[in-house]
Amino acid sequence: MAAYYAAPPNAPPRHSLPPKFLRGLEELEENSVRNFLNILPELGAAPSMVIFVREATVDLQAGL
């Protein structure tokens, strides 16, 4: 997933980064999203909100 973060203005385009770095970045993004979804209930989010965020995340990952 392309977790959305503010890259510095002088950051190289994502496609120009080494493949190994990109794989690591993708794994980090996936783990961050998974961790966020896992703690939502602990933060007091209603089950319907957890489902909404999970579905929105899937849509973002699919590029919709």
Residue 43 lies in a domain: yes
Q: Which residues contact 22 (CB under 8 A, 6 or more apart)?
A: 14
Residue 31 lies in a domain: yes
Q: How many domains does the chain have?
A: 1
Tell me the residue range of the domain where 56 lies. Answer: 18-62
Of 6-10, 39-43, 59-63, which gets the smallest average pLDDT? Answer: 6-10
Q: What is the C-alpha to C-alpha distance for residues 55 and 2, in angstroms, rounded to an integer? A: 15
pTM of the model: 0.48
Q: What are phi and psi of 8, to 5 degrees?
A: -60, 150
pLDDT in tens, 13-51: 666 667 887 787 788 888 888 888 888 888 888 888 888
Residue 57 lies in a domain: yes
55 has a pLDDT exceeding 60: yes
Q: What is the C-alpha to C-alpha distance for residues 27 and 16, in angstroms, rounded to an integer? A: 18
- Which amino acid type is present at position 61? Q
What pLDDT, on a 0 to 100 scale, did the predictor assign at position 27? 83
